[in-house]
Amino acid sequence: MPGSGARGLDVGVLYWGPTGHGIEVFPGRVDLTGRLEDKVAIVTGGASGIGRAICQRFGSEGAKVAVADRNIVGAEETLAQMGANSDTAMAIDVNISNASQVERMVEQVVAQYGKVDILVNGAAILIRTPDLVDVDEIIWDLTMETNVKGVFLCCKYTIPAMIASGGGSIVNISSQSGLRGVGYSVPYAVSKAGVIHMTTVAAAQYTAQGVRVNCIAPGGVDTPQMRGSTASAEVFIDRNDSHPMGRVGTADEIANLVLWLASDEASYVSGSTYNIDGGAMALAR
């Protein structure tokens, strides 16, 4: 069984009858590893943060993983941390806003592993900006190229490969910013709202062909990207205080939700966006 942390749940069966009642326990009968056995996944943005955690989680659950990122050094580091070899994982240097590179990425994965079952669109950029009228057009275009066009291209070239092998699961990573907007980056908020709507449209068009498409909207997560966009320790503490749980999330917690959506356990789920924010959106309502 893949992964060194194999776990199982004890299953208890309650019975009640004319001769009495009780619970019969079957130790460790529900296996919590191998949920992605024989699956092939592409994870963009896999060089660090949430993307890296997703790659590691998928690998521990038996998937073959393509770690796709412009930061090829970081992607190789992810492979090393996974303890992977070419039979189980590969690093791909890709600019997701470039159609020919994305098409080649999918072709590489299919050539190496025979199919694509899972796509996680995690690559994104966040650049802090002034108010809308002062936003530099270059920053706007760069954000849309990466965060919106990149997701579009990855879906465009991966969906046909999924359909050819019987279907698959796409998980798009948006943000709480895409649901309610943020003051620190107009382009980022707009781009992440676009990802949510692209998820809905893609699910409407391709679920009947066996491709499930879902989205997650994380709140604050302790990642290098978040720390890089946070001006001071005080701001980081404020973000903790804005979550009812009293803290921001971890990359591993996000990876757990992505794992479920990617797996067959979520076989009846498509077209949905999931908040994963420690209750922050509940406070915003």
The CATH code of the domain that includes 253 is: 3.40.50.720
Q: So what's the pLDDT on residue 281? A: 80
Give the integer Cα–Cα distance in Å for 42 and 279.
29
How long, in residues, is the chain? Answer: 285
Same domain, 138 and 167: yes
Q: Do 241 and 260 fall within a single domain?
A: yes
* Short-list 89, 114, 113, 92, CA closest to 103: 92
Query: 153 and 216 share a domain?
Result: yes
The 10 Å CB-count burial string (b at 16+, else e) for 108-138 is bbbeebebbbbbbbbbbbbbebeeeeebeee
Kindly state the average pLDDT of the residues 179-198: 92
pLDDT one-digit tens code per residue, 193-235: 999 999 999 999 999 999 999 999 998 888 776 666 554 444 4
pLDDT greater at residue 159 or residue 21: 159
Q: Express each pLDDT in 109-143 by its tens digit.
A: 999 999 999 999 999 999 989 899 999 999 999 99
Q: Do residues 11 and 76 both lie within one domain?
A: no
The pLDDT-based confidence of 7 (bands split at 50, 70, 90) is very low
Q: Which residue has the tokens 């050819």?
A: 164
Sign of CA pseudo-dihedral 98, 217, 81, 83: negative
From 149, 105, 101, 144, select the one nearest 126 (Cα to Cα). 144
- Indicate whether 24 and 73 sit together in one domain: no
Structural domain count, the chain: 2
Same domain assignment for residues 205 and 66: yes
Helix (H) or strand (E) holding 73, with range, is helix 72-82
79 and 142 co-located in one domain: yes
Structural domain boundaries enclosing 22? 1-32
Share of the chain above pLDDT 70, in %: 81
Q: Are residues 242 and 258 in the same domain?
A: yes
Residues 182 and 53 in one domain: yes
Please count the CA atoms within 13 angstroms of the CA of 165 that sit on its side-chain side: 16
- Under DSSP, is residue 65 helix (H, G, I), strand (E, B) or coil? strand
pLDDT digits (tens, 9 = 90+) for 62-78: 999 999 999 999 999 99
Do 271 and 213 form a contact (C-beta atoms < 8 A)?
yes
Verify whether residue 184 is a known catalytic residue. Answer: no
Asked whether residue 16 falls in the same domain as residue 133, the answer is no
Chain segment 238-265, per-residue pLDDT in tens: 555 667 777 788 999 999 999 999 999 9
Q: Active-site residue among 15, 113, 157, 188? A: 188
Q: pLDDT band for 180, please (50, 70, 90 cuts).
A: confident
Strand-pairing partners, residue 17, are 20
3 sits in the region (left: phi over 0; alpha: psi -120 to 50; else beta) called: left
Are residues 3 and 110 both part of a single domain? no
Return the pLDDT at 238. Answer: 52
Task: Give 272-284 pLDDT, tens digit per residue.
Answer: 999 998 888 887 7
Looking at the fold, whether 78 and 14 belong to one and the same domain comes out as no
Q: For residue 5, what pLDDT is reported?
A: 43
pLDDT given at position 20: 57
